[in-house]
């Protein structure tokens, strides 16, 4: 999906560059976002431009990064973004959609550069393990429903002030993002299992998820 452009803004991405983006690995995509003026903001709507069926994975990858910031508001930023992405997978959208005001926002390149330096060694190792596998599993409608539902529940938990859980939920959500980005059905199946356990342990058994869901429903309906 090409990003929505402001009037007068010219799209400089060629068809060849778009095709290259669809083939590039996660590490290469992140490094491409880092290149440029460190003070420039990388807009969310540009993050998934030209990625085709991998767009949800890249958007989720960037949306989860604030959860690794060692401040309380990290989960409050990543949680709602994760819920938005999960809801779109749940209802069956084929391309991400963002409100105009949100699409114009995003992290600065210098922030992405810090995460790139932190994650590069891990991503380098993971790229030898994560690869396109079981594509039919990811393409099944029920797979998107399950992924969307778990992302919504994990996003709700991430947004809650549960001590010492931001990194845990962040790693789980990165597994979902990598599975979507690399089209790895095997990794996605593991992410489903780990995500379901996390929802059960931190959400259902603790009562946090039920209380939050009821509060949100009462607020909106």
Indicate the SS3 state at residue 108.
Answer: strand
**Could you report the per-residue pLDDT of 24-57, keeping only the tens digit for each?**
566 677 777 777 777 787 787 777 666 667 788 8
Token code pair at residue 148: 């969307």
pTM tops 0.85, yes or no: no
Token code pair at residue 66: 């604030």
pLDDT at residue 189, as a whole number: 93
**Could you report the per-residue pLDDT of 131-149, keeping only the tens digit for each?**
788 877 888 888 899 999 9
* Of 101 and 210, more confident: 101
Residue count (the chain): 221
Q: Phi and psi (nearest 5°) for 111? A: -70, -40
pLDDT at residue 50, as a whole number: 65
Whole-number Å distance between alpha carbons of 89 and 149: 8
**Could you report the per-residue pLDDT of 181-192, keeping only the tens digit for each?**
888 889 899 999
Token code pair at residue 95: 């391309």
Is the distance from CB of 95 to CB of 1 less than 8 angstroms? yes
DSSP state of 191: H
- Residue identified by tokens 């778009």 is 18
In angstroms, what CA-CA distances link 190 with 32, 47, 71, 122, 186? 28, 26, 29, 18, 7
Q: Phi and psi (nearest 5°) for 84? A: -60, -45
Q: Phi and psi (nearest 5°) for 113? A: -65, -35
pLDDT at residue 89, as a whole number: 92
Q: How many CB atoms are located within 10 Å of the residue 83 CB?
A: 21
DSSP states along 21-64: HHHS-HHHHHHHHHSS-TTSB--HHHHTTT-GGGHHHHHHHHHH
């Amino acid at each position: 999906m090409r990003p929505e452009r402001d009037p007068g803004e010219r799209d400089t991405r060629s068809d060849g560059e778009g095709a290259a983006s669809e083939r590039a690995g996660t590490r290469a995509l992140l490094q491409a976002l880092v290149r440029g003026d460190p003070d420039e903001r990388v807009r969310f709507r540009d993050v998934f431009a030209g990625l085709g069926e991998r767009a949800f994975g890249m958007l989720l990858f960037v949306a989860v990064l604030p959860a690794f910031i060692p401040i309380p508001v990290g989960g409050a930023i990543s949680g709602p973004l994760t819920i938005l992405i999960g809801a779109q997978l749940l209802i069956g959208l084929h391309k991400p959609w963002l409100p105009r005001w949100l699409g114009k926002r995003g992290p600065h390149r210098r922030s992405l550069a810090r995460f790139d330096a932190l994650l590069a060694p891990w991503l380098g190792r993971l790229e030898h393990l994560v690869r396109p596998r079981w594509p039919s599993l990811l393409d099944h409608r029920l797979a998107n429903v399950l992924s969307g539902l778990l992302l919504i529940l994990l996003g709700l938990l991430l947004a809650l002030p549960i001590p010492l859980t931001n990194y845990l939920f962040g790693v789980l959500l990165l597994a979902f993002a990598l599975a979507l980005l690399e089209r790895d059905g095997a990794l996605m199946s593991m992410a489903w299992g780990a995500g379901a356990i996390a929802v059960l342990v931190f959400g259902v058994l603790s009562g946090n998820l039920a209380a939050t869901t009821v509060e949100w429903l009462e607020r909106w309906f």
